Amino acid sequence: MILQALKEYYDRKPDLAPDGWERRGFPFLIVINHEGEFLRFEPTQEGSGKTKSFRQFLVPALGEKKGNGIKANLLWENIEYLLGIPVPTKMKPNPDVERVKKQHKCFQDRINALQGDGPAFAAAKKFVARDHSEAVVRDSLWPEVLTTNQPLALSLETVGAVLDDACVKSAVEAQREASDTGVRALCLITGATGEITRLEPPIKGVWGAQTMGANIVSVNNKNEGGSNAGATPAFASYGKQQAFNSPISKSAASAYTTALNHLLGKDSKQRMQVGDASTVFWSSRETKFESEVLDFFGEPPKDDPDRSTRAVESLFKSVQTGALAAEDAGIRFYVLGLAPNASRIAVRFWIVDTIANMATRFCQHFEDVKIVHGPRDRDTLSLFRLLVATAVQGKSENIPPNVAGDTMRAILEGLPYPQSLLQAAIRRMRAEHEVIYSRVALIKACLNRSLRFNNPQKQEEMKVSLDLNNMNVGYRLGRLFATLEKIQQEASPGINATIRDKFYGAASSTPVTVFGNLMRLKNHHLAKLESAGRRVTFEKLLGEIICGISDFPPHLTLDDQGRFAIGYYHQMQDF
C-alpha cells in the first residue's frame, strides 16, 4: 500500500525526474574543450546564506546503492571516480590508491560504452582518455573543490552541460533499455509484468540514516549454485535472492523512490521531523491541504512567526463552515513516518484516512493543547516545541523516539496521547522546577483526551483558564502552591529562589511532607506585606482554595501531579 501510494504520487507529478534519471545539484562543473582538455572549474552556486543552492541538472540515476562495491555513475561522479585523484578524508586519511584506479577505470568504461555521435560525445570520450591531475591542481578553485568533495559533472565549452545534450540523453536511454537483466516477473506494485530490480534505488533524506541512502525494500541474502547462502540463507525463499523475493519492476522502483526522495528533500514543504521519524505526507490528488500541514505542525519561519496561527485559524474555519468537506472530503491523505535502522529504513507509522477526517483530528489536537498563556507567547505551538519541552535540556536529540512517534500517531488517529508523554512532561517540571506553557498544554491535552476516550460523554476535564469550580485535590493544591509563592514574591521583591525552586517536586508528589511548613511560613510572609488590603485579598483567596481541601494527601497519582501543574499554572496566569 505504501509503495503503491508513492507510485501514484509520482504519476501525478510531471515535474519529477523521469524513469532512470534524477535531479541533482553540483557545486562545480568541469569545463572541457572539444579536444577533451580540462579548462577550469565552474561554480554553480546560486544565492547566499540559507538561500544558497546549486544549479540542478537531470542526470542518469545509478538505480541502486553503491555500498562497498565499485559502481560508477554516468558522466557525473566524485573526484576519485571522475579524475582518478585520491582524496584524503577524516575517515580515510590514507586513501587506497589501487581502489581509486579501479574506480576511475569503471567511470571510463561506462562512458566508452555509450554509442552515439556529436561533439559532446567526442569531447567526453577524449576527456576520460587523458590524465588531468596536473591541470586541475593548478586551477585556483581546486582547494575549494577538494574541500567540498562533492560529485562533479562535465560541461563542454560554449555548449553547456554534456548531459543536457539531446544526443547524449538518447544514448543514455538506449543503453539503459539494453541493460535488461532478463529477470521478468509480475510487479507487486503495478500488477504488470516487467524487468525486476535486483537492488532498490537508495532513499535519501531520512534523518539518522546513511548519507549514501538506505532502503525500505531490502533482503539480505544470496543464492550460490542453486543453494541458499549468505549471512541469512533462510531469507532466500524458493531459491530467490535479494529483491527477487519481493518482485518490483525497475520502473516502479524508480517511481516510488523518486517520489519519496522528493518528499524527503531539504526544501520539501511536505515533510517534518517528529523525534527520530522523518515524516512525509501527501494526498491521492493534488490539494491545498497537503501543502498546509507543515504550517499546522512545523516551526514558523522567523520572518513570519504568525504563519502557524493563521494556518490553524483557517483550518478551524474550514472545518466549522464545511468548506473543506465540500472540496476535499473523500480524498485520501497519507502520512508516513520513517526511522533509521542501520542500512535500512523502518516504518515508524503509516496512516491513511480522508482529508476531512484528518482535518477534524488536527483541530481536536489544537483544541486539546489550547491553554491560557502570556501576551508574548504564540497562540499555537508547533509539534516540535511541544516535544522538546519534554526533553532533557530542551534538545531535540533528547526527545525519546517512542514518545515522538506515539504522539504523532495519537494526533493522526484521534487516540489518547501516550502515557509516556505525560510522564516526560511531569518529569521535566520536577527536575527543572519550570512550569512552562508548552508542558502544561501537553498535560492538559493528555488528561482531557484520556477522559474523553474512556468516557465519551465528558468532553473535557481541564479548562483553558482558571476553573474556580474544579474541586480536584491536585488542582487545588497547585493553586494553593502558586498563591503561597505569590505571597512570598510580594513579601520579598527580587528574591533569588522561591518555594517553587525548593519544594515544587515534593509539593506536587507528596504534599503532606511540605504543605504544613509552607502554611506556617505564609503567616510570616503575609506580615511583611505593607498593604493591609493586599493581606486581606490573599487571606480570602487562601480560604477559597483551602475550603476544597479536606487534608493534605501523602501521595498524588501521576494524573493528579498533572492537575497540580495545571492548577499552579492557571493561578499564576490569573495573577
State the number of CA atoms in the 13 A half-sphere of 532 facing the CB. 0
Rounded CA gap, 318 and 324, in Å?
Answer: 5
* Cell, residue 216: 525500505
Rounded CA gap, 127 and 282, in Å?
Answer: 44
Q: Which residues of 414-443 are buried (b: 16+ CB within 10 A; e: fewer)?
A: bebbbeebbbbbbebbbeebebbbbbbbbb
Residues ≥6 apart with Cβ < 8 Å to 530:
none
CA distances from 68 to 71, 99, 103, 212 (A): 9, 11, 12, 11
Rounded CA gap, 248 and 124, in Å?
Answer: 34
* Cell, residue 427: 518529569
- pLDDT of amino acid 174: 81
Rounded CA gap, 70 and 165, in Å?
Answer: 27
- pLDDT of amino acid 309: 64
CA distances from 572 to 385, 451, 480, 487, 569 (A): 21, 25, 10, 12, 5
Residues ≥6 apart with Cβ < 8 Å to 497:
none
Q: Of 494, 379, 371, which is closest to residue 439 (Cα–Cα)?
A: 371
Rounded CA gap, 276 and 165, in Å?
Answer: 42
What residues does each domain of the chain span? 16-178, 184-263, 271-454, 473-574
- pLDDT of amino acid 348: 86
Coil, helix or strand at residue 514: coil
Q: Of 471, 314, 446, 440, which is closest to residue 372 (Cα–Cα)?
A: 440
Supply the DSSP string of 139-196, one letter for each residue: STTHHHHHHH---EEEEETTTEEGGG-HHHHHHHHHHHHHT--S-EEE-TTT-SEEEB
Coil, helix or strand at residue 43: strand
CA distances from 455 to 314, 459, 461, 464, 470 (A): 30, 8, 11, 20, 18
- pLDDT of amino acid 190: 87
CB 380 within 8 A of CB 437: no
- pLDDT of amino acid 302: 66
The owner of cell 493581606 is 535
338 strand-pairing partners: 278, 347
- pLDDT of amino acid 571: 93
Neighbours of 360 (CB within 10 A): 17
- DSSP label at 202? P
Rounded CA gap, 38 and 33, in Å?
Answer: 7
336 strand-pairing partners: 280, 350
Query: Mean pLDDT for each consecutive 10-residue tract of the chain (575 residues)?
Result: 90 87 89 91 79 83 78 89 87 86 90 84 88 90 88 87 86 75 81 84 84 78 58 58 79 89 86 84 82 73 64 66 60 87 83 84 87 86 85 80 84 89 90 89 92 78 88 91 90 85 89 88 84 87 86 90 93 92
* Cell, residue 27: 557545486
